C-alpha cells in the first residue's frame, strides 16, 4: 500500500466553535476540506505516530465517507490502532467512554449534533483528547492555527475498509478494530444505575416514550430501555438512525420534538417522555403534562443523584454553564458543595471533572452529564431520571412541584433568533457591550438594572482564561438576562437571549414561563433593541 503526500493550501474558516468544526455538508465535501482539517488536528497534537484513536459519528450524511478518509489518513500518519463503531456509528458519550476505557490517545467524532443532516444541511468534526473530553481551547486554537499554514497532508491509497463486521483488520501497519457501539456504554450504565429497580418500575406498568429522532441513540435506547430494562417494545420510537434524520431537526426541545410534546400534554400521555439529539449528548425530559426545563433537570438530578448507586456517596460539586439558570446553585448550597459557573460548551467542564471538583455538570441547552465520561450524555440523563422515579415512586410533575417548593422555582426560557445578518447581530452585541458600565441604575420596561458584565472565566485548575463569553445583566428584582451569539450555527448569526426569574412563593410556581417572564422579556427588548435591530417580531425558537 502506498502513502501519498498531497500538497495543499490553507482553506479559510476552519476554526472550531463551541463544539468542533461545523459547516454545511457541501463545504466539508469540497476538495481537501476534510483532509486539511484532519491533518491539522494530527499535526496540532504532535503527530499520531504509534497512537490509538477512537473514530465514529452520528450516522449523518457523509459520515461513512469521512470516516474512510480519516482511517486512511491515520494509517498514513503512522497511527497504531483505530477503534471504530460498527457502520461508523458512535454516540458522542459512547465515544468519550471508549477513549477512556481503552486508554486511547484521542478521538475524532463526526457530528453537527442537533443541526439537521443531509447534502444541503450540516456536518461537523470534533477532536477529543485522552480524557475523553472535547479538546480545550488551547488545542482547538492550535488546530486552527495549523489549518492556516498547512502545506501537505498524508493519506494511504487503499480500498474502503468494511465497517459492517465486528473484529480487526489492518490498513498497512495500522489495526482497525470495529466494535459494537452499544456494548461498552450499556455496561457503564448498568454500573451507575439500579437496573433492578427500573425493571420493577416497568414491570409495574410504568410507561415511557423515548424519541430517538432517527439519530444515533436509537440502537442504544433499544438495547438498554427495551432490552435490558424491559420497557415494552415500541417504547423507543424513531429508533433507526438515518442519514438525514428522516428530514427532521434532531434537537430535543419542545419545538423540534413537537410530536412527543403533544403526546405528553394529551390524555394518552405515558409517565415519562424523553428524547435525544443527533449525536446523543442532549436530552429532553417531560412528564405527563410537565415539561422539565433543562436547568431544572440539572437541579433535580443534583438533589436526587444519591438515589442512584453510582452517586450514592454524594456529589463533590456541581457545575453549570453561565447562561444555565441558577437552580442548580441553590441545590449545591443546600448540599454544602461547590457550584461552578463556566462558559458555554462542554470543554469547560473537563478540568473540573478530571480534578474531581464537580460530579454533575449541565447546560440549559439540554445537556447534562457527570464524571462517568467527559461529554454530556443524553441517555444517561434519562436513566438517572428513571432511577429517581423508581426510587421515589412519584410522578415527574410531583417531583418538580416538591423541588420548587423546597428551593423556589427559577422560571427560565431561551429565545433564539436564527439566521440573523451577522453584521447586525454583532452590532447589537457590541452596542450593549459598550454600554455595560452605564446600565446599573437604569430601568428598562420597569426593571432596574443591578449589575452588568461581559462574562469572563478563569479555569480554577489550569488558570486558562476565556473572555467575552456572554453579556450578563441582573435586575434589582432578581431577574437575569444573558445575551450571546451561538458558536455552532452555520448560517448567519444566531442570537440567544436567556431569561430567568426566581419565584419563591409556591402559589406562584405553576405559571406559564413566557407569562411569568414577560417583564424580563420586555426589558431585554428595551435594553438591546432586539426587535428593531433584527427586524423580527418574535424569536424562531423558545425553549
Ligand atoms: C450550543 C449550546 C451549548 C452546547 C453546544 C454544543 O452552543 O448553547 O450549550 O454546548 O451547542 O451542543 P452555541 O454556541 O450554539 O450556543 V451539541 O449537542 O450541539 O454538541
Ligand atoms: Co449534541
Q: d(Cα 347, Cα 127) in Å, to the nearest integer?
A: 11
ipTM for the whole complex: 0.97
pLDDT at 537 over 90: no
Q: Which ligand is nearest to the CA of 20?
A: 1
Q: Taking Cα atoms as reference points, which of 295, 302, 248 lies closest to residue 276?
A: 248
Mean pLDDT of all residues in 381-406 = 98
Are both 302 and 380 inside the same structural domain?
yes
What is the CB < 6 Å shell around ligand 1? 18-19, 113-114, 277, 281-282, 321, 344-346, 363, 365, 367, 486-488, 496
CA of 487 from ligand 1 middle (Å) equals 7
CA distance 57 to 350: 21
Q: Taking 90 as the threshold, does the pLDDT of residue 490 lie above it?
A: no
| Count, residues in the chain | 543
pTM recorded for the entire structure: 0.94
Find out whether 199 and 230 touch, Cβ atoms under 8 Å.
yes
Strand 21-24 and strand 122-129: the pairing is antiparallel
* CB-CB contact of 278 with 117 (8 Å): yes
Average of pLDDT values for 154-160? Answer: 94
Q: How far is the CA of 19 from the centre of ligand 1 (A)?
A: 7
Q: What's the total number of domains in the chain?
A: 3
Whether residues 390 and 442 fall in one domain: no
Instruction: Quote the radius of gyration of the chain (alpha carbons, Å).
Output: 23
- Say whether 113 sits in a helix, a strand or coil: coil
Do 279 and 342 lie in one domain? The reply is yes
Final residue of a structural domain among 368, 392, 407: 407
Going by pLDDT thresholds of 50, 70 and 90, the confidence category of residue 80 is very high
Q: What is the CATH number of the domain that holds 82?
A: 3.40.120.10
Q: Which domain holds residue 481?
A: 409-542
Q: Which of 407, 429, 450 is the last residue of a domain?
A: 407
Predicted local confidence at residue 478, as pLDDT? 93
- Are 42 and 99 found together in one domain? yes
Which pLDDT value is given to residue 316? 98
Specify whether 214 is located in the same domain as 143. Answer: no
**436, 454 contact by CB (below 8 A):** yes
Question: Closest residue (by CA) to atom 10 of ligand 1?
Answer: 345
- Domain stop point among 180, 196, 211: 180
154 DSSP β-pair partners: 5
411 has a pLDDT exceeding 80: yes
Residues 403 and 416 in one domain: no
HEC per residue, 440-486: CCCEECCEEEEEEEECCEECCCCCCEECCCCEEEEECCCCEEEEEEC
E-state strands within 94-185 = 106-110, 122-129, 152-157, 167-171, 174-179
- Do residues 275 and 403 both lie within one domain? yes
Q: How far is the CA of 419 from the centre of ligand 2 (A)?
A: 20
Strands of 130-172 (E only): list them: 152-157, 167-171
pLDDT in tens, 451-466: 999 999 999 999 999 9
- Average of per-residue pLDDT across 21-28: 96
Rounded Cα distance, 159 and 451, in Å: 61
- Atom 18 in ligand 1: residue holding the nearest Cα: 113
The residue contributing the CA closest to ligand 1 atom 4 is 345
- What pLDDT score was predicted for residue 489? 75
pLDDT band at 492 (very low <50, low <70, confident <90, very high): confident
Together in a domain, 505 and 536: yes
Cα-based distances in Å from 71 to 75, 78, 98, 174, 484: 6, 11, 17, 9, 37
Residue 13 shares a structural domain with residue 33: yes
Q: Which atom of ligand 1 is least distant from the CA of 376? A: 18
Q: Which atom number of ligand 1 is nearest to the Cα of residue 18?
A: 14
Sign of the C-alpha dihedral computed for residues 161, 162, 164 and 166 taken in this order = negative
Residue 96: closest CA among 78, 109, 87, 114: 109
Backbone phi, then psi, for 485, in 5-degree steps?
A: -100, 140
The overall average pLDDT reported for the chain is 96
CA of 18 to the centre of ligand 1 (A): 6
Cα 500 versus chain centre, distance: 21
In tens, the pLDDT along 253-270 reads 988 999 999 999 999 999
pLDDT of 1 higher than 90: no
Amino acid at each position: 500500500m502506498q502513502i501519498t503526500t498531497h500538497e495543499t493550501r490553507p482553506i479559510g474558516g476552519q476554526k472550531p466553535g463551541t463544539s468542533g468544526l461545523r459547516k454545511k455538508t457541501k463545504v466539508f465535501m469540497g476538495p481537501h476540506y476534510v483532509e486539511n482539517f484532519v491533518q491539522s488536528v494530527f499535526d496540532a497534537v504532535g503527530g499520531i505516530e504509534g497512537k490509538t484513536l477512537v473514530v465514529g459519528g452520528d450516522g449523518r450524511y457523509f459520515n461513512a465517507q469521512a470516516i474512510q478518509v480519516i482511517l486512511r489518513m491515520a494509517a498514513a500518519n503512522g497511527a497504531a490502532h483505530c477503534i471504530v463503531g460498527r457502520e461508523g456509528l458512535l454516540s458522542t458519550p459512547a465515544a468519550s467512554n471508549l477513549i477512556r476505557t481503552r486508554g486511547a490517545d484521542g478521538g475524532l467524532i463526526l457530528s453537527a449534533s442537533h443541526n439537521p443532516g443531509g447534502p444541503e444541511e450540516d456536518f461537523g468534526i470534533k477532536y477529543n483528547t485522552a480524557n475523553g473530553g472535547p479538546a480545550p481551547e488551547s488545542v482547538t486554537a492550535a488546530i486552527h492555527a495549523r489549518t492556516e499554514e498547512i502545506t501537505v497532508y498524508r493519506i494511504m491509497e487503499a480500498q474502503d475498509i468494511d465497517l459492517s463486521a465486528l473484529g480487526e483488520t489492518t490498513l498497512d501497519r495500522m489495526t482497525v478494530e470495529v466494535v459494537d457501539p452499544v456494548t461498552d456504554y450499556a455496561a457503564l450504565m448498568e454500573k451507575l444505575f439500579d437496573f433492578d429497580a427500573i425493571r420493577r418500575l416497568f414491570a409495574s406498568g410504568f410507561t415511557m416514550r423515548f424519541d430517538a429522532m432517527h439519530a444515533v441513540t436509537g440502537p442504544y435506547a433499544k438495547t438498554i430501555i427495551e432490552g435490558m430494562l424491559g420497557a415494552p417494545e415500541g417504547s423507543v420510537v424513531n429508533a433507526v438512525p438515518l442519514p438525514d434524520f428522516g428530514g427532521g431537526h434532531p434537537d430535543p426541545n419542545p419545538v423540534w420534538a413537537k410530536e412527543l410534546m403533544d403526546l405528553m400534554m394529551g390524555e394518552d400521555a405515558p409517565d415519562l417522555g424523553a428524547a435525544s439529539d443527533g449525536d446523543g449528548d442532549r436530552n429532553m425530559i417531560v412528564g405527563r403534562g410537565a415539561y422539565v426545563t433543562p436547568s431544572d433537570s440539572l437541579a433535580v438530578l443534583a438533589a436526587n443523584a444519591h438515589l442512584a448507586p453510582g452517586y450514592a456517596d454524594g456529589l463533590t460539586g456541581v457545575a453549570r454553564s453561565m447562561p444555565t439558570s441558577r437552580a442548580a446553585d441553590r441545590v449545591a448550597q443546600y448540599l454544602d458543595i461547590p457550584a461552578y459557573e463556566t462558559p458555554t460548551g462542554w470543554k469547560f467542564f473537563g478540568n473540573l471533572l478530571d480534578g474531581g471538583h464537580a460530579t454533575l455538570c449541565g447546560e440549559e441547552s439540554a445537556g447534562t452529564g457527570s464524571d462517568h465520561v467527559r461529554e454530556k450524555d443524553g441517555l444517561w440523563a434519562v436513566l438517572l431520571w428513571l432511577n429517581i422515579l423508581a426510587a421515589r415512586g412519584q410522578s415527574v410533575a410531583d417531583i418538580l412541584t416538591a423541588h420548587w417548593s423546597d428551593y423556589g422555582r427559577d422560571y427560565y426560557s431561551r429565545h433564539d433568533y436564527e439566521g440573523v445578518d451577522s453584521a447586525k447581530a454583532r452590532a447589537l452585541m457590541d452596542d450593549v457591550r459598550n454600554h455595560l458600565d452605564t446600565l446599573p441604575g437604569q430601568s428598562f420596561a420597569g426593571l432596574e438594572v443591578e449589575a452588568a458584565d461581559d462574562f469572563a472565566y478563569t479555569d480554577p485548575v489550569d488558570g486558562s482564561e476565556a473572555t467575552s463569553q456572554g453579556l450578563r445583566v441582573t435586575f434589582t428584582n432578581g431577574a437575569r438576562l444573558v445575551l450571546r451569539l451561538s458558536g455552532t450555527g452555520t448560517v448567519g448569526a444566531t442570537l440567544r437571549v436567556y431569561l430567568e426569574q426566581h419565584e419563591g412563593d409556591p402559589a406562584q410556581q405553576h405559571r406559564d414561563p413566557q407569562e411569568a417572564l414577560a417583564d424580563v422579556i420586555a426589558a431585554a427588548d428595551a435594553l438591546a433593541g432586539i426587535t428593531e435591530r433584527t427586524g423580527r417580531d418574535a424569536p424562531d425558537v423558545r425553549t
